Amino acid sequence: MSFRRMFNAVETHSGEPMRVVTGGVPQIPGDTVYEQMKWLEKNDDQIRKLMLREPRGYPPVCCNLIVPSKNPEAKAGYIIMEQSEYPVMSGGNTISVATVLLETGMIPMHEPVTEFMLEAPAGLIGIRAECSGGKVTQVTFKNVPAFAAHLDAVIDVPGLGKVTVDVAWGGMFYVIADVRQFEGLRLVPEQGREITRISALVLRAAQDQLPVAHPDYPGIGITVSQLSGPPHSEAADWRNTVTVANGPIDFDDPSTWTGALDRCPCGTGTCAKMAVLHAKGQLKIGEPFRHENLLGIAYTGRLVEEVRIGDRVAVVPTVSGTSWIYGFNTYVLDPTDPFPEGFTVGDIW
């Protein structure tokens, strides 16, 4: 049989399921991975929809395409795809991509440490992978600079009232709210539905009321919400839950007040949180920051230097975490399949 499309993928998770497509990726024009991402978004968005929607995906899944990099410093490039956008950077996905490249032999593994560069749409990302017995035990990536855009801003959220939030860039723009503002809400899996409802409302209000801009990525706004609170483990500094939107949020349509909870501690969200804490004088350069998620998985972040992004003070973060391979799959698109871009159904989307 001749299939319309065929992709080889490595299935990984860091709590969050993060698919890494290693074969079947078409040649994508562009001199940088950022240009490749923009071309793909405009001309072949079918890949993202096919990989992330049913029957091959479900709301929390992320996906990455391994692509060649023309930058002589980078071993490979990767395009990050999520349910509603193409992020220029994602920490958990970076950890998974590095793990797959090393554990499948696409990049030679050197024990006890393998160091190399990857090219994300956001630019060059430094990788330091700790390796033992042919496995990657921990990945530390050096991210693009992070910065706070709004601190302790008060927004009006329909149905919730006035909410105090921070907004920061960590590779994506996050609106961050302390969960203790919402009576009875705790960052635990059992309250996932209420977490997504509140997060969706806060995200839409922040999008409407708090303008943001990044000098290198025009047009990117606030796309992710993060609730923060006290840790549940003595080994962690903060607990967080990030909600990834499934689509546009309409205050008049309660069915849109939802999303998928990030099942990992969120690498770029950790960078955004560290930028906020540093701007408030609560996190020093070089000080370790343990960020756990609602499953109890933790990433360790660290700010390594101050820099400038345009007229803003920014910080360069590193984040360390682990990803695990749990499967290998070949995905195909049958020429008679009535859903060439997959589908969504309102019971879970």
Catalytic residues: 90, 266
In b/e form, how buried is each residue of 22-61, taking b as 16+ CB within 10 angstroms?
bebbeebebeebbebbbebeeeeeebbbbbbbeebbebbb
Give the helix, strand, coil percentages of the chain, each rounded to 5. 20, 40, 40
Separation between Cα atoms, residue 136 and residue 143, nearest integer Å = 19
Inter-helix orientation angle 267-279/91-103, to 10°:
140
Query: Which helix H or strand E contains 208, and what residues bound it?
Result: helix 192-209
Residue 95 per-residue DSSP state: H
316 Cβ contact partners less than 8 Å away, ≥ 6 residues apart: 142, 143, 144, 145, 146, 303, 304, 305, 306, 307
Going through 146-277 in order, the beta strands assigned E by DSSP cover 147-157, 161-169, 173-178, 222-229, 238-244, 260-261
